[in-house]
Chain A
Amino acid sequence: MTTFGNTTRVTLAALTLVALTGPALAQQGLDEPFQKPFKEALAGKTVAYVPVAMNFDLTEGWYAGLKKELEPFGVKFVIRDANWNTNAGAQAVTSLISEKPAVMVVHNPDVQTYAKLLQRAENEGIYVIQINMGSAYRSSAFVGANWVEIGERQTEAVVKACEGKSNKIAIIQGALSAAASAYTLKGVENVLAKHPEIKVVSSQAADWDAAKAKAITQTVLKQNPDLCGIVGFWDGMDIGTAAAVKEAGLTGKVFLTTSGGGERKGACELVKSGAFDLNMSYDVPTQAAQMAGTIKWLLSSGVKPGSVKGSEYTTLIPITKENADSQTACWNLSDLKK
């Protein structure tokens, strides 16, 4: 007790000393010369966001994350919701080109539609950042998942789960022309090329639609009750795939992998419930942070739009039963919006 009292007293004395001498030692600060031009480069600039559609975990997450990082610096944020309509999206990009925001953040519905427009935008002096689903045109930055890798890792997991079983697998694709679907399929093919023993009994597109995914899976499972694995292309759609597996009483027997943004309800909860065996998460908040970082860098660097081109593939988080309970594997949309 006495020792403790002494220590406290000595510490207090030392702290008092530091407090008294501190200001004298610091004398005067050094002005940091770079933060003023940085602030000036960002303040009042407009960032336009064109998602495939709002109101789902990915696009809401990116929006919230970008807003959080950019608005404190006086950046104006505008949103043009394409609402699953490719024409509406193309129109939004076209009209934005004439409105001339400083940066355009674009989520491509497919690899072709916006390609020419995005090139035009950069020619007009607008930085273009593409998220998750890229187009054929390479702009200032692509921030997103490496779909080929996702396809490869998912398929490797399914191949492993199939060892000693029927080796029959099914593939539930998204919308054929979307980057997320086409490139993932490439990854799947890469792995299958090394495993000739695996037989793909069905490979069909469900168009990102849970009901369609369920209908396809039901039929496939009836034809192949000994199926050992399914590679699904998006967790939002594969809720339907999982429902079909569950209804057939094959949960745990058919290894179901999918991918998604890692939102708690859509990813971790479903892995915990056994609906998905593996969900490759591309972690939306990190993607948003990387996008925001890129925007800050581009605006403050003053490089000419279109003169630099780079990619930031986000690190994947495989969500399985082991980590689905952890605080860090998934994120909550409601928290991100706060």
Chain B
Amino acid sequence: MKHFRFNQQEIVFAVFALLFLVFSIFLNGFLTADNMLTLLQNVAVLGILGLAMAIVVIGRGIDISLIAALAVPPGLVLQMVQNGHSLPLSLLTAVLLTIAFGLVNGWLIAYAEVPSLFATLATGLLLAGLGQAALFQLDVVQWSPGMNGFERLGQGTILGIPTSIVMFAIACIVVAFLLRQTRWGAYIYAIGDNPYAARVTGIPSRPIIVLQYVVAALIGCFAGLVMAASVNSMPTRVFNSTLIYDVILVVVLGGIGLSGGRGGVLNVIIGTLLIGTMLNGMTIMDISYAGQNLIKGVVLLLAVLTDSFLNPRNEETAQQGDI
């Protein structure tokens, strides 16, 4: 008799499918094409951030500074344009700032060997503080006429599909290609799986790790641009929100273990879908804020609990170095 073993990805997918089914049957107006698009649109930015986090987590790191990369460089674009600079120059400056930020993160982690959790915790604060103290006049950087046209990155539709979903799809394709088709991607998996073995095999671990954080920061910045375009402003204090936990949740729920070396874009999509379905359903049902948090917590706990019940840890997996 074949012995069935579910992994977390499948469990989460099953939870998602169950929720989806229940909502479709009992919730008026849930299963419409329009609502499906709204559902996806609402979690598109979260999904893009999940992709950035996935790259880092697969490489056995974590990037707490992602929300700073989301808020500050795009905020700088809006502020510079507001101050009269041209949009291309502002975008270039923001991209350079993002790359510099990713390099600092990567250097700290790969060369100075600071644990990624602490390094990015500190650098995130640094970047957000820099933004608040020196770059922005106000926390919410307003859209200005010089940005006209750019809002199409987050608003409107392409072939009937809201742009932010298209952006998420593009990001998925790019990241999937990077992870699965390039040598760099293969190295990330190797490093995540066993960093010492990877180094012994001759993989240039340190530069690869640096690149990993640069790419994550760039994707974060991209997510921020989509977000700013979508709400016609950059609420930079999003850095103080709980968004980073949601991002980690999407990644871990989707089945990318924090121990590294496993998972991919599909996991991020599944995690994002689960969160999106829950949020959408609860909004339609007009459940209160506290009620929503409670339900979110219970569903997430159930998913994680089921996983540890079906896949009990042994000596080997426990040694893997979960955070």
Contact = CB atoms under 8 A, between A and B. Distances in A.
B233 A210 contact: yes
Interface in B11-50: 29, 32, 34-35, 38-39, 41-42, 45
B279 A215 contact: yes
Interface stretch (A129-137, A198-206, A295-303): A198-206
B139 A55 contact: yes
Given A55-B138, A209-B238, A218 B289 contact: no
Given A176-B290, A211-B238, A240 B231 contact: yes
B232 A205 contact: no
B65 interface: no
A266 interface: yes
Nearest to A211: B231
Interface stretch (B195-203, B205-213, B280-288): B280-288
A223 interface: yes
Contacts of B241: 207, 209
B231 A210 contact: yes
Contacts of A176: 289-290
Interface in A166-187: 173, 176
Closest 8 CB pairs of A and B: A205-B289, A215-B42, A55-B139, A219-B283, A240-B231, A84-B240, A56-B139, A210-B231
Given A222-B34, A236-B140, 7 more contacts: A55-B139, A207-B289, A209-B235, A219-B38, A222-B32, A240-B231, A246-B155
B142 A243 contact: no
Nearest to A240: B231
A239 interface: yes
Contacts, number: 90
A316 interface: no
Interface in A246-283: 246-247, 265-266
Interface of B: 29, 32, 34-35, 38-39, 41-42, 45, 132, 136-140, 142, 155-156, 227, 230-233, 235, 237-238, 240-241, 279-280, 283-284, 286, 288-290
B138 A222 contact: no
A223 B35 contact: yes
A210 B280 contact: no
Looking at chain A's contact residues, the main secondary structure is: helix
A83 interface: yes
Nearest to A223: B29
A327 B251 CA distance: 51
B289 A204 contact: yes
Interface residues of A, number: 37
Contact of A211 (B227, B286, B290): B227
B232 A239 contact: yes
5 contacts: A207-B289, A211-B238, A218-B42, A222-B35, A239-B140
A204 B288 CA distance: 6
B35 A210 contact: no
A85 interface: yes
Nearest to A237: B235
B237 A84 contact: yes
B138 A60 contact: yes
A218 B41 CA distance: 9
B151 to A, nearest CB: 9
A107 interface: no
Nearest to B36: A222
A201 B286 contact: yes
A203 B286 contact: yes
Interface centre among A60, A207, A219, A266 (most CB of B within 10 A): A219
Given A85-B240, A210-B233, A211-B235, A218 B38 contact: yes
B231 A214 contact: yes
Given A210-B140, A218-B38, A223-B29, A53 B237 contact: yes
A247 B156 contact: yes
A214 B232 CA distance: 11
A215 B233 CA distance: 15
B94 to A, nearest CB: 19
Contacts of A60: 138
Contacts of A202: 283, 286
Contacts of A110: none
A43 interface: no
A228 to B, nearest CB: 17
A338 to B, nearest CB: 14
A324 interface: no
Interface in A106-135: none
A202 B285 CA distance: 8
Contacts of A216: 283
B283 A56 contact: no
Contacts of A220: 283
Contact of A56 (B39, B42, B138): B138
A266 B142 contact: yes
Interface centre among B139, B241, B279 (most CB of A within 10 A): B139
A57 interface: yes
A207 B132 CA distance: 20
Interface string A32-57: 00000000000000000000010111
A63 to B, nearest CB: 12
Contacts of B29: 222-223
B35 A219 contact: yes
Given A239-B233, A247-B155, A265 B142 contact: yes
Nearest to B151: A243
B238 A56 contact: no
B320 to A, nearest CB: 34
